[in-house]
Amino acid sequence: MGKIIFLDVDGTLVDYEGNLPASAVKAIRQARAKGHRVYLCTGRSKAENSQEIWDVGFDGYIGGNGSYVEDEGDVVMHQLITPEQCRHIVDWLHSRGLEFYLESNNGLFGSEHFRERALPVMQEYSRRKGNSDADSLQASSQFMRKILDGELYRDDVNKVSFILNSYQDHLDSIAEFPDLEPGTWGGKGEIALFGDLGVKDITKAHAIEVLLGYLGADRADTIAFGDAKVDIPMLEYCAFGVAMGNGGEEIRAMADLVTDDVDKDGIYNAFEKLGLL
């Protein structure tokens, strides 16, 4: 077995507008042709990925920030938010007037006014990621099109993201859900845009450990790519960690290698430098 490569999606494989560089596709296909294994390792649930991403070709998938592990189509692990936990989350968010979406492998299911409330928030998220055309983002954008109407009391939920009215909403979620893993995204601390709730004690690093056990593979052969704080545990766990040039200061400081930005052939250049092509 060659190297086992783990790629975050947003800000790593694709840019913050969801654009997939042709050079990244080329790198992944060439690396797999040489006998290396490539897995997506992302906060996204499967339903959030476009067909363009799936068409690249991967050996497996880690989603929900580590709650779901798949190898060559076989489910290795899937730890879900329980139906009781889901009901508690939905009722609590409704009681506070917070709009949210449920992340499932079967779809992304939005609360009653999520699309309307999310548009300016996603524009701000895009603006913070350096998109000069962020204000032109519309309700028809790639992400917004994925938000579905449907039952909100569910038994197939990997995690839940909700729009923060203030940072206090995140702090209160920590107290309200000691049985879950609260986090934030879209900014650090007080400037965070979203809170999220996932399965407790699940990380990308833990999921990789589970997968390696399933494969009978050696941790010494692992390489991880990421751009954000949530990716740091997997870069620390893997034998070699690569941060994207567009990544946050914390992950760039701890990585073994900082490559170019995602839209400046960062994946391809790192694969080439590491002798994977």
φ, ψ of residue 249 in degrees (nearest 5)? -60, -40
Token pair listed for 53? 């991403």
- Regarding pTM above 0.95, the answer is no
Each residue's pLDDT, cut to its tens digit, for the chain (277 residues) gives: 799 999 999 999 998 778 899 999 999 999 999 999 999 999 999 998 999 999 999 999 999 999 999 999 999 999 999 999 999 999 999 999 999 999 999 999 999 999 999 988 988 887 877 766 666 656 446 677 889 999 999 999 999 999 999 999 999 999 999 999 999 988 777 889 999 999 998 899 999 999 999 999 999 999 999 998 889 999 999 999 999 999 989 999 999 999 999 999 999 999 999 999 9
Query: Right CATH number for 4-77+203-273 from 3.40.50.10190, 3.40.50.1000, 3.40.50.300, 2.60.120.1130?
Result: 3.40.50.1000
Element (H, E) at 38: strand 37-41
* Dist. CA 88–CA 110, nearest whole Å: 16
Contact 40, 61 (CB under 8 A): yes
Fold of 83-199: 3.30.1240
Ordered by start, the domain boundaries in the chain are 4-77+203-273, 83-199
